[in-house]
Amino acid sequence: MLNKTLPARWARIYIAGPIDVAKQIIREGLCATITPTDYIYTGGEEAGIVVGLIDYPRFPKPVDEITNRAVDLGHKLRA
């Protein structure tokens, strides 16, 4: 058995909005974590999510791919 160690690369997207809509967008071809969160600010609050993407060392990808996927997903989530 061959063991590899690589530095983990990850990206997180913080965005307000309904979690169910985000889940549907993410299901269209991406593996990610999604965590509900609340954004609290002076005078109010808003529900949102934190989306996590990671470059799993067992199946490494080119260095910029995780960032590019996060940026593309961020654009889809805010549309």
Which pLDDT score, from 0 to 100, does residue 72 have?
Answer: 94
Which pLDDT score, from 0 to 100, does residue 56 have?
Answer: 73
Token pair 């996927």: residue: 69
Confidence band of 1 (pLDDT split at 50, 70, 90): low
Could you tell me the two tokens for 31?
Answer: 């593996």
Which run of H or E residues covers position 54?
Answer: strand 44-55
pLDDT in tens, 9-46: 889 999 999 999 999 999 987 788 999 999 999 999 99
Query: Which of 40 and 2 is assigned the larger pLDDT?
Result: 40
The count of residues in the chain is 79
Residues 6+ apart with CB under 8 A from 60: 6
